[in-house]
Structure 1
């Protein structure tokens, strides 16, 4: 019997959960990479994700069972690999006697933050920031594994040697606020730029074929890792911030942070981008490529996950069915939609960009305040226009008067220009306040819709 049990564990049936399997985001690529690796090692995989797309179809064509409804998962798994709280909860509730591991891919989003449950016997963090997040939420250190992201080296093959100076660049991004800075930096550096990612509405299903065409890639996290493994020079940045050029001096430390948000300590400005571009070094980028191809191979990644799975399966627990059902009910209390502003409210905001249950009185007061500000600044704008029109004649008149002092003219003109500058500063502050109000009141997904419509127009 022991031999049979050991053999069963060698060939596991793994249920992986994720919010979506649709458009090649970071966690989606992890799902695909892990599922492919597990199947290649002889294990059976099932994927549960409430949002599916082209990526799910591609996985199905390769033999994976991908479903968006738990009823479609008919075979009982040996282990649940939970990513994202809501689909993980669904799997835990459906299979209450199946052990689980929970993988944290973000140190900032509540949808990724660990919650305790008797079925979850081990946790996985993808970088040091996620590890700290897990520990801060009470995850026992002896049940927490640090497994860095990997790259499918069979897909992402090394490119030809880089040129002495970069000619083509690729921006890989899911946010758009830094796009203009990257465009300007590349333009000033005489580098042709292409853009791919959710923020651009342009997607690539064959990034492994696209990357070798570029000398510099602007990206973070998994996209930066894949670009480095191909041999591109990588500038780690996005709209959240700027880290700099990935090189041999920082590659080990930056890998421990998943080339992610924990490194983005400076703003993504044209100046910072151009400084990074100026440090382009083909030889150093080749060494970075060799390093990541050595340490980020998918086979080690899969083995580390299998080790965590088997430890979770073998862990001795004394919990009862009642304790497990109580834990599940507590999860529902936290992440199920209710009037109480619990964790579900943070998750809704993260996933959809919605402001949940705004205070109506405060909202009205804010609108009234900004209406008054608008009226005041419109009046200032009219007054400013009159002042600008008056500058010409008032400056010209003293000049025509031979007795006028040129110094007096200069001083008078300077004073008026200072007043105009003050008015422009007030108007600039007003515009910034309107922008803040717009961002606070209009949900993120609606703002993105506006952006797409404007681009198409």
Structure 2
């Protein structure tokens, strides 16, 4: 498929001019990798001075955050009053809906997933660039949709380094571990991971909506752990934080401990599904835990922070968008070609059985479930905080009681010690007096004067009494 001739538009191709960019995404509900990519991209582009609108079927709590940052969020493209300069589509159907509504706007499609229908590229003449977030997605575009590899740009997901500051140095021996995944649940896979950790004296926590412990902002929590199990974006965020990372997904399997030697290769495959080639057992997990090396993990983290920040990754995507707008500011597609492309899309849509109403209902249900999970999680945290408060209060009372007992015991010991000291002194004085008395009895003067003392005693006893 070839692009039609670009129509010159000097105003819109002016280098460095802020653009109006429309981001198309299925929904923003669960803070998955593609959803967080869209959020980060929107916030970053806005900070760069661009006007940003997000089109999605449904929004969750992220909508308030985005609108607070002056980013428009719409579920109906008819609500947009102005034509965008470019469309960046992360999911198939929403990208197609956006380009059919704005039929002369250049489009950049992004493939985030190797297998899901969301990752299928929109194959319309308006598509000026195809982007893959890793080599696995690039292979899909080549082998499943016949897109030439030279037409595909590899632009990987980045991490907001300001939100994910680097933790302190890792300990020589790890103490804490974390499963960081929305797909983790309390099943046999998690128990295998836990068993391997227990064998090595590691405590294990789980963060993710699958276990009801969803954290909207996990950045602060990551700094409390030494080893993190995760894939994709979760692994990237953990590496940037400075954790030792084992590539693992509770559904798909596990890979290796990320090291300074393999971090570049693993990153190119997005720490993702293509690397998850082994089953999760306590033996395979334990083997990777035994490879823990705090210094090597620090080198891998430094490489990740140097290459995986938003300024690097999203800067490349911004250049891609600018290039597309410069080359094709307005794309005029002949009516016949547009009709043919639309007919092909509708035929494919019917063949695949995409009921749009069902999609909306599913998205609404997802949003409702996410709200329930979040509410449950908040109540769980509230009750846990209360339990911890009561436990802390009980521990303080126990400590105070122990202190009082110890103080009373110390006072009693002091009194006993004082009494023993006085007894010892009295005994010493008595012994001294007894020794002196023995000396007097043993003296010669006592023997000489003894008869005289006897006579004196007799005289006194016989003396008349007045």
Q: TM-score, normalised by structure 2?
A: 0.71
Partners of 2:336 and 2:89 in 1: how far apart?
Answer: 21
* Kept after mapping to 2: 8 A contact 1:185/1:273: yes
How big is each residue's C-alpha offset from its partner over 1:160-190, in whole Å with a ceiling of 9 and x where there is no partner?
1011111111111122353222222222222
Q: 1:8/1:98 Cα in 2 relative to 1: closer, same or farther (>3 Å)?
A: farther
CA-atom RMSD, angstroms? 2.8
Alignment of 1:446-457 (within 5 A): none
- Give the structure 1 partner of residue 253 of structure 2: 241
1:85–1:312 distance in 2 versus 1, CA, 3 Å: same
Q: 188, 194, 206: which one pairs with 1:183?
A: 194
Q: How far apart, in 2, do the equivalents of 1:33 and 1:265 lie?
A: 30
The CA deviation string for residues 273-305 of structure 1, in whole angstroms up to 9 with x for no partner, is 111111111111110110001011211222211
Deviations 1:105-149 (A, max 9, x none): 111222202241111111000111111111121223332111012
Gaps of 5+ in 1: 353-444
Match of 1:256 in 2: 268
Instruction: Kindly indicate whether the alpha-carbon contact (under 8 Å) linking 2:107 and 2:129 is maintained by their aligned counterparts in 1.
Output: yes
Q: Looking at both structures, which has the greater relative contact order when contacts are Cα pairs under 8 Å and sequence separation is at least 6? A: 2
> Which residue of 212, 217, 225 corresponds with 2:236?
225
Give the match's secondary structure for 1:286: helix
In structure 2, the partner of 1:401 is none
The correspondence for 1:92, drawn from 85, 92, 99, is 99
Give, in whole Å, the separation in 2 of the partners of 1:90 and 1:15.
12
Change (3 A) 1:141 1:244: closer
**Unmatched runs of 5 consecutive residues or more in structure 2:** 1-7, 363-367, 381-466
Tell me the number of residue pairs that the alignment of Structure 1 and Structure 2 aligns.
353
Of residues 156, 166, 172, the one that matches 1:148 is 156
1:303 equivalent among 315, 333, 337? 315
TM (normalized to structure 1)?
A: 0.72
Who is 1:422 aligned against? none
Match of 1:425 in 2: none
Q: In structure 2, what is the equivalent of residue 269 of structure 1?
A: 281
Query: How far 1:9 moved relative to its partner?
Result: 6.2
Q: Which moved more, 1:261-270 or 1:3-12?
A: 3-12
Alignment partner of 1:157 is 2:165? yes
> Secondary structure of the residue that 1:170 maps to in structure 2?
strand
- Superposition pairs for residues 134-145 of structure 1, below 5 Å? 134-136=141-143, 137-145=145-153
Distance 2:283 2:107 in 1: 47
What residue in structure 2 maps to residue 385 of structure 1?
A: none
C-alpha distance in 1, partners of 2:15/2:347?
36
Partner deviation per Cα, 1:291-332 (whole Å, 9 max, x = no partner): 001011211222211222123224456631331243133223
